[in-house]
């Protein structure tokens, strides 16, 4: 961490639903594959430019692929997985160049052995970095996360169920709840993302499609957040 980052105001966790890649491609009359490519490139570009953001961000969680995305056409899913295979190694290089730590949150069920190996390799290769944590929420669904947590609790025969116990059995047990959630694409819903964790999260719905979202848009949202008085239920 450099001296300029220390002087910046800290935000612990930002979650982002990267919506609008398909509509971006339709608008430009290009294939969905190109839209998804632009979406991934923008995710990487945001990560590369974190030092140009006005705040020091400890963690960012990107909603990459939801458990509901399996209902898309086989050809679109295959294109997405080929894209993810290709870009994970590029993400690793960008992470190491910019001192970022890559982590995966979500189920590895239904993922190919090749992809699991790529995810594990990228996680290992970046874990000694000391900058922002980049949490890639891949094959993630909040309801399934909660079901898995309740199964773990029942197996351990815990009689007293508390919020802390549930939180400690989630995929995200090691990361703070988001202070900010951003959804691009002019859609005002949460789409099964971090439902347990966002009880006091400030939510920003953005009209721009994800491939068009940039660091200036990011800074505007963070500046708005900085002006909010957060009472957490108190007066």
Which positions are annotated as active-site residues?
Answer: 19, 69
Enter the tokens of residue 62.
Answer: 């990107």
- Alpha-carbon distance 4 to 55, whole Å? 10
Distance CA 217, CA 205 (A): 12
Strand partners, 202: 180
Phi, psi of 63 (to 5 degrees): -80, 95
The residue behind tokens 């990107």 is 62
CA neighbor of 211 nearest in space, from 65, 13, 45: 45
Residues 155/82, Cβ–Cβ less than 8 Å = no
Other Cβ atoms closer than 10 A to 32: 19
In the β-sheet with 180-183, what is the strand arrangement from edge to edge?
Answer: 101-105, 133-140, 55-66, 9-17, 180-183, 202-205
Measured in whole angstroms, the distance separating CA 194 from the mean position of its chain's CA atoms is 10
End-to-end CA distance of the chain: 36
């Amino acid at each position: 961490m450099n001296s300029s980052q220390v002087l910046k105001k800290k935000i612990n966790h930002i979650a982002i639903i990267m919506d609008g890649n398909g509509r971006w491609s339709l608008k430009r009359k290009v294939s969905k594959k190109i839209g998804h490519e632009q979406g991934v490139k923008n995710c990487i570009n945001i990560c590369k430019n974190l030092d140009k953001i006005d705040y020091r961000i400890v963690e960012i969680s990107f909603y990459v692929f939801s458990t509901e995305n399996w209902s898309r056409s086989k050809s679109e899913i295959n294109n997405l997985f080929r894209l993810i295979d290709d870009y994970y190694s590029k993400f690793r290089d960008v992470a190491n160049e910019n001192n970022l730590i890559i982590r995966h949150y979500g189920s590895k069920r239904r993922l190919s052995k090749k992809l699991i190996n790529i995810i594990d390799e990228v996680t290992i290769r970046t874990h000694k970095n000391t900058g922002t944590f980049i949490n890639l929420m891949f094959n993630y669904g909040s309801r399934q996360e909660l079901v898995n947590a309740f199964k773990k609790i029942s197996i351990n025969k815990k009689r007293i169920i508390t919020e802390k116990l549930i939180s400690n059995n989630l995929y995200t047990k090691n990361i703070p709840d988001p202070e900010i959630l951003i959804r691009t694409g002019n859609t005002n819903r949460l789409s099964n993302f971090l439902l347990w964790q966002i009880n006091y999260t400030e939510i920003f719905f953005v009209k721009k499609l994800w491939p068009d979202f940039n660091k200036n848009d990011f800074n505007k949202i963070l500046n708005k957040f900085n002006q909010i008085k957060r009472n957490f239920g108190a007066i």
